[in-house]
Amino acid sequence: MKVLMFGWEFPPHITGGLGTACFGLTKGLAKHGLEVIFVVPKAYGDESEEAVRLVNASKVTIDIDKDEERSYWDRVQYMEVGSNIIPYVGPEDFERLQEENRKASKSFKSRVFSQKYEFSGKYGTNLMEEVARYALIGSSIATKHDFDIIHAHDWLTYSAGVAAKETTGKPLVVHMHATEFDRSGENINTDVYAIEKRGMEMADRVITVSNLTRKIVIDRYGIDPKKVVTVHNAVEPSNKPELAGFQKSVDEKVVTFLGRITYQKGPEYFVEAARKVLKRDPNVRFVMAGTGDMLNKMVARVAKLRMGDKFHFTGFLKGDDVDKMFAMSDVFVMPSISEPFGIVPLEAMRSNVPVVISKQSGVSEILKHAIKVDFWDIDGMADAIYGLCHYNALSETFIRFGKDEVDSLKWEHAAMQVKQVYDKVYKQQ
């Protein structure tokens, strides 16, 4: 079976868990004999193609004089993008970006319909323009390749998946890694919500990464429960023997937050829990690794609490730097307010780091050897951190059994469940 898959990022060029999940899933599918044509807005040339054939959408041209190419436009609906869906923008840039968006919208259609278009592949101010052009390209690519199933990851690619389905009549599977309610709470961007809803309505099956996400998809988007299937994520096996003897350069215990510093990830709860731990034991260091629109607020809060000498901000980490951070860590904390799944705790456990995770996360559905607390329970979070830092028997138990548990969560198992979804959809055609 051949799969035409649409993604927005692919390792090593990632900004979060989406690219990591796509990479793991495609490798898993390859082990089950499936061929994957993976489309990204922008390829850099150093991506791994061991399990996929990568298609660079920036290299695809459109013959704008052909009626059939021009007709693809009817499948693309433009909606102005609000700044709240740009994940790495601070509030001080709000007015400037709003003005840029207003100017960009005036020439939007002409740029999307240019014969050649260079995607940034990022999450900037022209994001909706890129989403629309990606749908145009997706529809065109679908006519040039032989495949059996279309698979689109997250809202950025849903329009491309829908356009490809309408062009070819092939079945569409959409993968919901995070909903707009996860990213924005109740203050959602209605345009993004509309794209998500239409993508799921047009899909033959919707895959969600947790039962938590499945419930949101059914309750908040009105999607038929019969076509929504949960497939939990997994993690790549560790193969970093060179880090086995890695030594951290500080004597204190190190407690780490690693992720986007945004509302969804609950960074403020990590800071407040750190304050409570440091009151009990000042010989603990806290690290916040990542970037996001709440970074400046977190820096200011740490300064106000006079914790600057025990609290470190590293910026965005990837690749070997993530592995080194885990090698230095004694505890990993994921205090997410709403986490559809959460691959990072699995990566931490794989690196022999015990984890504290919020009960409001999809990964809590499958993990047994993790301490689970409500994201708002700062006292419970602080107690868990303190216990793992000070009671060796406790941390050693979580490390030993957690490593065994996470080693059993393989992408080839998740891929088999996805293949079963493909098979059912394909047979119904």
pLDDT digits 0-9 by tens, 395-422: 999 999 998 999 889 999 999 999 999 9
pLDDT at 76 exceeding the cut of 70: no
Q: Residues 329-363: pLDDT tens digits?
A: 999 999 999 899 999 999 999 999 999 999 999 99
Q: What is the CATH architecture assignment of 241-407?
A: 3-Layer(aba) Sandwich (3.40)
Q: Residues 145-165: pLDDT tens digits?
A: 999 999 999 999 999 999 999
* pTM above threshold 0.85: no
Q: Residues 266-294: pLDDT tens digits?
A: 999 999 999 999 999 999 999 999 999 99
- 2-234+411-427 maps to which CATH number? 3.40.50.2000
- Considering only residues 117 and 398, tell me which one the structure prediction assigns the higher pLDDT: 398
Under 8 Å between Cβ of 406 and 346: yes
Confidence of residue 248 (pLDDT cuts 50, 70, 90): confident
Q: Which part of the chain has CATH 3.40.50.2000?
A: 2-234+411-427, 241-407
